[in-house]
Amino acid sequence: MNLFEFCYGIIHWLVDLVNHLWYWLGDVLPWWFGDFFDAVGDFAASQGHLSVMTIFLEVVIVVIIALINVLNFIWIFRKFMGRMFDFYGPYYVGYGIGGWLQNLADGIKLFVKEIIVPAKADKMGYLLAPIIYIGSSILILATIPFSENFGVSTNESGTYVPAGALFALAAFAIAPFSILLAGWASNNKYTLIGGMRSAAQMMSYEIPLLMTVASVFLLAGSFGFVDIVDAQHDIWFAIPLFIGFLIFLVCLAAEVEIIPFDLPEAEAELVEGWTTEYGGMRFGLFYFTTTIRSYAGGALATALFLGGWHGPALIPDEIWFLIKAYIVYTVFQWMTWSLPRVRVDQMLGIGWKRLLPLAVINLMIAVALKSMGWF
């Protein structure tokens, strides 16, 4: 049984339950009123409504599980950073479980803080930017399946639609717009430079990223996560496309703005970059969203290059997928804290002069592999 069938069953049962009420009302009430409730019942029992509600429920389940993992990621981020810096990290909030509750405590603290809008800010853009940023990032979470049967990848009738990876990457590319919006609307020089840097960075790293992903699509012959992972049943794409894997990781580091490439929020020169003017829960949303994108990045790397949920059958597929994503994220953190930040011209130079030619070479390797008939 896959997630779609499970959710369909639940929705069907719920609709049947509620329809008893509608039809009873249709019997009891006078003629024009009764007809209305009969129509409501008919609509609820129709195939279209059932499918939409099913997919809605699927999305909610997948996103909630993903968000719980994002909380874990924040905890890993802090704990791992702490241990790498030779201190304890979160310890007493959630004593005994490694300080896991520190995230929630910080979230509550951010919630009760006052929301301040700068006097000369563009209010509409200022308020809209965090919404776009977190909204587009949660869209990515909904597309990534945890296993063959656990994910949102079907149409309304339950048949598989191979477009998940494409949709995820499209949603990934919305974020620079909101960052630019936040930087511009805050009416601050630091945020403006941060926003511009972010836009330049994301544009220049989007291209090599998409070209490496294109090589994966080429080898798998599909845009859907399930097909791509199935194509890696024998050998992970990270092995034939090793160059592509490295490029993908570097570009991902730039896309999720971690330290060698965290120029938009370069603390030393731009205070907090494009988030300088945001406080309270708005800043909390930005912070949380950055981790969401890190999680999405780890999951994308897992699904596209590291064989997804394939692994020895001792552990369920979903757990395999998460373990790989966690490992990718941890290695990212390790790299982050070991390196200084690059300069903006150097960053663009790496993007256009090094990564783009390498991505083309990688694409040619993929074409060669495909045309030789090995995949």
> Please, what is the minimum distance in Å from the beta carbon of residue 198 to another protein?
13
CB 284 within 8 A of CB 134: no
Non-local (6+) Cβ contacts of 100 within 8 A are 72, 75, 90, 94
Using the 8-state DSSP alphabet, how is residue 274 labeled? G
Q: Which two tokens stand for residue 355?
A: 């990564």
The CA distance from 324 to 320, in Å, is 6
The type of residue at 192 is L
Binding residue for another protein, selected from 28, 131, 203, 339, defined by CB under 8 A: 339
Instruction: Please state the φ and ψ torsions of residue 158, each to the nearest 5 degrees.
Output: 95, 0
- Asked if 277 touches another protein (CB under 8 A), the answer is no
- Asked if 271 touches another protein (CB under 8 A), the answer is yes
**Residue recorded with tokens 């200084």:** 340
| Three-state DSSP state, 23 | helix
CB 284 within 8 A of CB 294: no
- Asked if 43 touches another protein (CB under 8 A), the answer is no
Applying CB under 8 A, what is the total number of residues that bind another protein?
35
Question: Considering only CA atoms, which of 151, 174, 133, 141 is closest in space to residue 73?
Answer: 141
Comparison of 273 and 297: residue with beta carbon closer to another protein: 273
Binding residue for another protein, selected from 129, 256, 263, 304, defined by CB under 8 A: 263
- Asked if 24 touches another protein (CB under 8 A), the answer is no
- Asked if 343 touches another protein (CB under 8 A), the answer is yes
- Asked if 114 touches another protein (CB under 8 A), the answer is no
Inter-CA distances, 25 with 12, 28, 146, 153, Å: 20, 5, 42, 37
CB 140 within 8 A of CB 171: yes
- Asked if 190 touches another protein (CB under 8 A), the answer is yes
Comparison of 30 and 340: residue with beta carbon closer to another protein: 340
Stretch that binds another protein, among 47-55, 155-163, 232-240, 340-348 (CB under 8 A): 340-348
- Asked if 363 touches another protein (CB under 8 A), the answer is no
> Please, what is the minimum distance in Å from the beta carbon of residue 83 to another protein?
5
Of 91-110, binders to another protein (CB under 8 A) are 91-92
- Asked if 242 touches another protein (CB under 8 A), the answer is no
Q: Which residues of the chain form contacts with another protein (CB under 8 A)? A: 80-88, 91-92, 189-190, 193, 259-260, 262-263, 266-269, 271, 334-335, 337-346
